[in-house]
Amino acid sequence: MTTWSDHDLIDIWNESLDDVLVLIGDVTDEQWQAPTPCPGWSVGDIVAHLVDVEGVLAKEPRPDHEPDWEALNHVANDIGRFTEVGVDYRRGTPKEDVTDELRGIIATRRRQLDDVPPGEGVLSVMGNPTTIDRLLHVRTLDIWMHEQDIRVALGRDGGWDTRPAQVSLEQIRRALPYVWARTCQAPEGSTVRVTVTGPGLTAQLAAVVGPEGKGTEMEPPSEATVHLTLAWPDLVALSAGRIDPDEPDLRARITLEGDPQLAETLLRALAITP
């Protein structure tokens, strides 16, 4: 995996948002309203979400708005309620206005990030102290996955090997030890290997459960407790919670080897986005 400097990550975060702007640059009003794989959200809703989250990070005031929660069946938890406010507020707003908002908040956030002194911390979306490295890995993953949502809605496959895609894969790799040890509750000494076959990006990800149930990365073992082999788009769909792990076509494409119970648990634990 590539080691990115903070400056690199700021550039790549910026690229991920610019890629969305290019993707939606010529959408029609009908396409703006098209449903995406993100439950309950249209193309326009995703753009509104990006505006809202970057606005929160920029410490801009959020709209004083209370959605009609009974009409929003896709909102399932507190994080969903938090993210829905800025999206619902912008529903019905002309696409040109929301797109202009996104351009403006990108410029604001870029200035803020460029002004962070080397080694100084920043705040996460929820207001917790973090580093630029951690923040922008998470933000780039979120933005790039939403780019893929928009691509599905528009029927424009692509973007699988960009720098934002590479950072997204890196974030999935970072999450695997926690997923394996804590979410899957795999026993001490157990190992997991995930072979990503492309297209666009290929990788070997692996983790082991150590003492006190802590997961750590490791070199891919020749024989793992669980070995999952799948295409990069399928790993993305599972990580984003965009596909049912029991979907027959998915099952026909992937290979699961090793402990059957842990393997099934892993498939359901890979969804790392809220």
In-domain check, residue 161: no
pLDDT of residue 1: 67
119 and 222 share a domain? no
C-alpha torsion 166→3→179→212, nearest 10? 170
Number of domains in the chain: 2
| Domain co-membership, 119 together with 189 | no
Residue 93: inside a domain, yes or no?
yes
Could you give the CA distance from residue 202 to residue 85 in angstroms, rounded to a whole number? 37
Give domain status of residue 222, yes or no. Answer: yes
Residues 35 and 84 in one domain: yes
Considering the domain architecture, whether residues 172 and 264 belong to the same structural domain is answered as: yes
Per-run averaged pLDDT (10 residues), the chain, 274 residues: 91 98 98 97 98 97 94 94 97 97 98 96 95 98 98 98 98 98 98 98 98 96 97 98 97 98 98 87
Same domain, 148 and 31: yes
Are 130 and 191 in a shared domain? no
Domain for residue 265, yes or no? Answer: yes
Q: Tell me whether residue 195 is in a domain.
A: yes
Final residue of a domain: which of 123, 154, 185? 154
Spatial distance between the Cα atoms of 270 and 43, rounded to a whole number of angstroms: 24
Residues 144 and 181 in one domain: no
Do 94 and 119 lie in one domain? The reply is yes
Domain C-terminal end among 103, 133, 154: 154
- 74 contacts: CB under 8 Å, gap ≥ 6: 39, 40, 41, 80
- Can you tell me the distance from the alpha carbon of 225 to that of 165, in angstroms, rounded to the nearest whole number? 28
CA distances from 214 to 179, 184, 188, 269 (A): 10, 12, 8, 16
How many CB atoms within 10 Å of residue 246? 10
Containing domain of residue 69, as a range?
A: 6-154
Q: Are 226 and 184 found together in one domain? A: yes
CATH code of 172's domain? 3.30.1050.10
The count of other CB atoms within 10 Å of the CB of residue 143 is 25
Q: In the prediction, which pLDDT does 3 show?
A: 87
Quick one: pLDDT at residue 274?
73
> How many C-alpha atoms does 40 have within 13 Å on its Cβ side?
15
Q: Do 40 and 120 lie in a common domain?
A: yes
Residues β-bridged to residue 205: 194
pLDDT value at residue 19: 98
In a domain, 274, yes or no: no
Domain holding 31: CATH number?
Answer: 1.20.120.450
Q: Is residue 160 part of a domain?
A: no
Same domain, 141 and 206: no
Among the three residues 124, 154, 184, which one is the final residue of a domain in this structure? 154
> Do residues 59 and 89 both lie within one domain?
yes
Within-domain flag for 82 = yes
